[in-house]
Chains A and B, each alone.
Chain A
Amino acid sequence: MRKETLFTIDALPYRQPISVYGYYFGTDAKTLAVMGAIRGDEFQQMYTAARLVNRLSHLESQGRLSESCGILVVPCAGQFSMNVSHRFWPLDNTDINRMFPGYEAGETTQRLAARIFEALKGYHWGVHLTSLYLPGDFAPHIRVMDTGLQKNDKGLDFGLPYLVSRDPHPYDTTTLNYNWQVWETNTFSLYTRATDSIDEQSADEAVDSILRFLAKLDMLREHDLPPGTQTQKLDEKNLVTIHNKAAGILLRRRGPGDRISRNETAALIIDPYTSEIREEIRSPSDGVIFFARHAQILPSHTVVFRVIP
């Protein structure tokens, strides 16, 4: 393992310089790069990347990385936000993951995106441990942005329960995933169950899945990884969205990965003053819960679950 300073952020007055580190394993080959936390609440993403650093350094010291394998892991590039409890850049609230590919002569977060991208560019495979714009919990999955630039089916090799493809929206075109693909890295976003809380089991499953992916590429020798699951391919368009109509306190009765049958109650919206049930949120079809909002209270007209029919 080789730890290198990728760049140092001294963008903020009255704060000490912050280094962003890359952990390199194996050879100089640009096989796989893994990006951890970019936003200040991506604790699970940072933890997962940190576990990956730990596992890879063991594998490397045991001589189990193949000779043609070179890996970069960046556990965190969001320290300046994390340390002050901000999800985004503290001064102007801009999101680095909406600034890719970045611009070295531009605004602060464009420059930071450019520096992150400089380190991540040129790898054959890329994995971004990321979070959604809606706070919620997921069934673990690989997400691919369907740009037509790569073979999405390689995502099956992670052996996670789901491989989800998404048609890019205009606001997706400035994310790391999208631009990594444009710069010819085959890119997968990996979602574990949590974002702003640590889920150790889910992080270990994610690390296993990345190592499984490496093993499928013949980059790992004699591994003893768990086999992974049969991956189901999904198109995000085909997920069934369950909405609430009423607002109030959200009591979830089902969570990600749970089976649910048609008309079964998935959550309750209760009156915030009397605890009377204002709405029973029922599943419109049989299926498995893919995404569940993580919220204590909810306004009306919003996504509560997405279900795989």
Chain B
Amino acid sequence: MIKEVISAELSVGETLMIQKNRIEGADAASHRLAVVTGTHGDELEGQYVAWQLARTLAKKKNALCGTVDIYPALNPLGISTIYRGLPGFDLDMNRIFPGSRDETMYEYIADGIMRDIQGADLCIDIHASNIFLREIPQVRINEKSADVLTPLARLLNMDFIWIHSAATVLESTLAYSLNALHTPTLVVEMGVGMRITKSYGDQLITGILSVMRHLGMLKEPAPPVAPPIVSTDGSVSFVNANESGFFIPQVRHADRVEQGQLLGLIADPMSGGIQERLLSPISGLVFTLREYPVVNEGSLIARILGGSAG
């Protein structure tokens, strides 16, 4: 059943409407899971998950207990214009939560989304990095809510749980705002912008079924999940370009590399030269790798997960 979450009138003869797909099992009011995606208009991995999850749950209707709300597009205008942000607005959508009823239209929309999700047993907010970087399937957790969220995140069948430090600026994300209202919210990052990686989507759906079983929302055995690597900022090393040019990778995403191994080159097509050779600072797993070839000085090239995991 498609339901309206919140809507607003656009300038010229169009309505901006946030919608959700509500799937109800037995005892619909007993539990509620919210699966949300599409905050950043260039991130499409969650589209596959929304689609496939609805199909999977339709087949499991008899085993379903409670309600699953799937929100495939929190930023419909961004998705339809291939634009990461909110068209015509300076701030990133994930910097305006919890929203407001008396500021701007997008804050009004954000407020409506918050009110709709608030009170769910669990919210899963699916992101897909951006167009520049490819990520292994992971859950990102603010250290402030790690105690509550890490046990749930372990069930999601993701490869990696990254418990990151708290920054004030992140207090305006959807996840932070919901967690502050005691609606546990997990942020998934996986894949790359403007693409769909089916295997990652299927992996996450297995995880969602597993967490539903844990929440008492699925009356059938949960599919088995693989245990993730759990790590804090201390084990993550960043590799940024110091020159501009075009990135030519010399490793594959999700490879394990040795300290000092060549990760890639910054090429200068004008001269045929090599601007920079980028080496891995540690041994470990290339969990983030640059996908978009154009590189500015400072562009992130890779993140390596080292420590005991490497």
A positions within 8 Å CB-CB of B: 10-14, 87, 91-93, 95, 98, 105-112, 133-134, 169-171, 173-174, 241, 243, 246-249, 272-273, 297-303
Residues in B neighbouring A106, C-beta threshold 8 A: 238, 240, 298
A-B contact pairs, 11 of them (CB 8 A): A11-B296, A13-B294, A91-B294, A93-B84, A105-B238, A106-B298, A170-B172, A171-B169, A243-B102, A247-B10, A297-B12
List of 7 A-B pairs having minimum Cβ-Cβ separation, nearest first: A108-B298, A297-B11, A133-B90, A170-B171, A300-B9, A247-B9, A11-B297
How far is B108's CA from A300's CA once the two chains are assembled, in angstroms?
10
Of B12, B91, B108, B170, which is in contact with the most chain A CB atoms at under 10 Å from its CB?
B12
How far is B170's CA from A92's CA once the two chains are assembled, in angstroms?
19
Q: Is the CB of B105 within 8 A of A301?
A: yes
Q: Is the CB of A272 within 8 A of B169?
A: no
Q: Is the CB of B244 within 8 A of A13?
A: yes
Question: Residue on B with the closest CB to A273?
Answer: B13
B76 to chain A, nearest CB (A): 13
Q: Does B308 contact A (CB under 8 A)?
A: no
B positions within 8 Å CB-CB of A: 8-13, 16, 84-85, 89-91, 95-96, 101-105, 108, 130, 132, 168-172, 238, 240, 244-246, 268, 270, 294-300
Residues in A neighbouring B244, C-beta threshold 8 A: 10-13
Of B132, B170, B240, which is in contact with the most chain A CB atoms at under 10 Å from its CB?
B240
**Contacts A170-B171, A171-B169: A248 and B11 contacting too (C-beta < 8 A)?**
yes
Residues in B neighbouring A243, C-beta threshold 8 A: 102
A185 to chain B, nearest CB (A): 20
> Which of the residues A91, A272, A302 comes within 8 Å of B13, measured between beta carbons?
A272
Q: Is the CB of B130 within 8 A of A247?
A: no
Residues in B neighbouring A107, C-beta threshold 8 A: 240, 298-300
A189 to chain B, nearest CB (A): 16
> Which of the residues A110, A112, A174, A298 comes within 8 Å of B11, measured between beta carbons?
A298
B77 to chain A, nearest CB (A): 10
> Which of the residues B8, B10, B105, B296 comes within 8 Å of A91, measured between beta carbons?
B296
B303 to chain A, nearest CB (A): 12
A6 to chain B, nearest CB (A): 16
How far is B16's CA from A173's CA once the two chains are assembled, in angstroms?
30
**Contacts A92-B130, A299-B10: A241 and B296 contacting too (C-beta < 8 A)?**
no
How far is B90's CA from A118's CA once the two chains are assembled, in angstroms?
26
Q: Is the CB of B171 within 8 A of A302?
A: no
> Which of the residues B91, B268, B298 comes within 8 Å of A110, measured between beta carbons?
B298
User: 14 new A-B pairs (CB below 8 Å) besides A273-B13, A299-B9?
Assistant: A13-B246, A13-B294, A91-B296, A93-B84, A169-B172, A170-B171, A170-B172, A171-B95, A171-B172, A173-B169, A272-B12, A300-B9, A301-B105, A303-B102
**Contacts A13-B244, A272-B11: A93 and B299 contacting too (C-beta < 8 A)?**
no
> Which of the residues A95, A105, A134, A169 comes within 8 Å of B104, measured between beta carbons?
A134
Question: Residue on B with the closest CB to A80?
Answer: B296
How far is B13's CA from A111's CA once the two chains are assembled, in angstroms?
43
Q: Is the CB of B91 within 8 A of A299?
A: no
Question: Residue on B with the closest CB to A112?
Answer: B298
Of B16, B132, B168, which is in contact with the most chain A CB atoms at under 10 Å from its CB?
B168
Question: Residue on A with the closest CB to B300?
Answer: A107
Q: Is the CB of B168 within 8 A of A170?
A: yes
How far is B171's CA from A109's CA once the two chains are assembled, in angstroms?
21
